[in-house]
Amino acid sequence: MNKTKERNEHPLDELLRTDRIPHIWCPGCGIGTAFSASLVAMKTSAIDLQKTVMVSGIGCSGRGAGYIKLDSYHTTHGRAIPFATGMKLANPELNVVVFSGDGDLFAIGGNHFIHAARRNIDLTVVCVNNFNYGMTGGQAAATTPCNARTTTTPRGNPETPFNLPFMAFAAGASYVARWTILHTRDLTKSVEEALLRRGFSFIEVLAPCPTSYGRRNKQKPLDTLKAYQERTVIKHACHPAEVQLDFERGITLGKFFDLERPTFLDMYDRTCRPQERIEKSEAV
Amino acid sequence: MKYWRVPLDADQIEVTRGIVHIVAERCKGCGYCIAFCPRDVLEVSPRYNAKGYHPPQVKRADECVNCHYCEIICPDFAIYSVEASADLV
């Protein structure tokens, strides 16, 4: 009876392409935690994993699709949501999860995001926000906080970043939440809720990027997590316009919005296929 | 953790016991599990894994209550805990 016997199988190994692990994410990178929280949520939400697809764009977070042992798509830059939309419309039975980064979903893919939220397509979007373009060397992104230093803003970022939950809410998403990788249990619960929620669900996950963003802003990975611990305030049902993301003044976390409304497929069937709908309801 | 008073049903509560398993070859030495373990079970190991990182090692095995926090915060799928009774069988 050896209490500390070597064991090499992790409980999530059944959902991982273990031949590709260890993954490419840097030591201290938060994407791994966000990814593992999504996998746990997929397992615990009891959705049919044979009918679950993960779609990723380009970037560090975009590698997620390569590590999951389910059907997955690694798409072109910014186009994770269009691929996911197509997949969902072609086969409405699928549970489509988009796992990608802030640069991919909100900079090059910003319009796709807005329109998918407007149409309320039944997707679950997990956006890992690490405040910069990590994979290409730490350039300023649409989410880089004001005054933060990056490769392309060595004297500080003069721009104002996007408020992602507000944008998702304004565009018409059904579920909007924000967590950090430190709030892993809440994050997992939130992804689980989003998977079961019909309609466009958006979860922003704040994650440290020690190699690119942290190094230029004097944030060691543990410092970032300590900041997440000390400066975050959980305010459920806070109006997304009042949500803060500022390492000095505070970071608002929580489930901001959760309201079911007809999805794109419901509306499409109602408008363009009324005959089939009548037949279906008669058959039932 | 110190409590300023003892819960009334303290004698009825069964505290779970856990055993931590570390997949050392996957670890990248970020230290999240060590820093955020609520019972301070882990510490940095002096030995290296094949990639040259220091994986964690169990310092106070009896303190683990199987909360799984190390497992869910680990970005590298390198640590997990199982309930002690199940493992000892």
Answer whether residue B4 is part of any domain.
Answer: no
Contact flag A3-B23 (C-beta cutoff 8 Å): no
Per-residue pLDDT band for A273 (boundaries 50, 70, 90) equals: confident
Answer whether residue A217 is part of any domain.
Answer: yes
> How many domains is chain A built from?
1
Answer whether residue A6 is part of any domain.
Answer: no
**pLDDT for A22 beyond 50:** yes
Q: Can you give the CATH number for the domain in which A233 is found? A: 3.40.50.970
> How many domains is chain B built from?
1
Per-residue pLDDT band for B87 (boundaries 50, 70, 90) equals: low
pLDDT on residue B85 = 76
Q: Can you give the CATH number for the domain in which B37 is found? A: 3.30.70.20
Answer whether residue A3 is part of any domain.
Answer: no
Tokens, residue A146: 């004001």
Per-residue pLDDT band for B89 (boundaries 50, 70, 90) equals: very low
Answer whether residue A8 is part of any domain.
Answer: no
Judging contacts by C-beta atoms under 8 Å, the chain B residues touching residue A7 are 21, 23
> What does the pLDDT look like over A167-208, one tens digit per residue?
999 999 999 999 999 999 999 999 999 999 999 999 999 999
Per the document, the length of chain B is: 89
Share the mean pLDDT of chain A. Answer: 92
Helix (H, G, I), strand (E, B) or coil at A66: helix
Alpha helices for A12-156 (secondary structure H):
31-44, 64-67, 80-90, 102, 110-119
Answer whether residue A5 is part of any domain.
Answer: no
Chain centroid, CA A177 distance in Å: 10
Q: State the helix-helix crossing angle for A31-44 and A184-196, rounded to 10 degrees.
A: 50
Residue to mutate among A16, A17, A21, with most B CBs inside 10 A, is A21
Answer whether residue B55 is part of any domain.
Answer: yes
For residue A270, what are the domain limits? 13-283
Answer whether residue B77 is part of any domain.
Answer: yes
Answer whether residue A38 is part of any domain.
Answer: yes
Residues B50-68: what's their mean pLDDT?
93
Contact flag A33-B74 (C-beta cutoff 8 Å): yes
pLDDT on residue A274 = 80
For residue B25, what are the domain limits? 15-88
Q: Are strands B42-44 and B56-58 parallel, antiparallel or unpaired?
A: antiparallel
pLDDT on residue A247 = 86
Contact flag B71-A11 (C-beta cutoff 8 Å): yes
Answer whether residue B9 is part of any domain.
Answer: no
Answer whether residue B56 is part of any domain.
Answer: yes
Answer whether residue A2 is part of any domain.
Answer: no
Tokens, residue A229: 């611990």
pLDDT on residue A9 = 85
Please tell me if residue B89 touches chain A, with a CB cutoff of 8 Å. no
Answer whether residue A1 is part of any domain.
Answer: no
Answer whether residue B21 is part of any domain.
Answer: yes
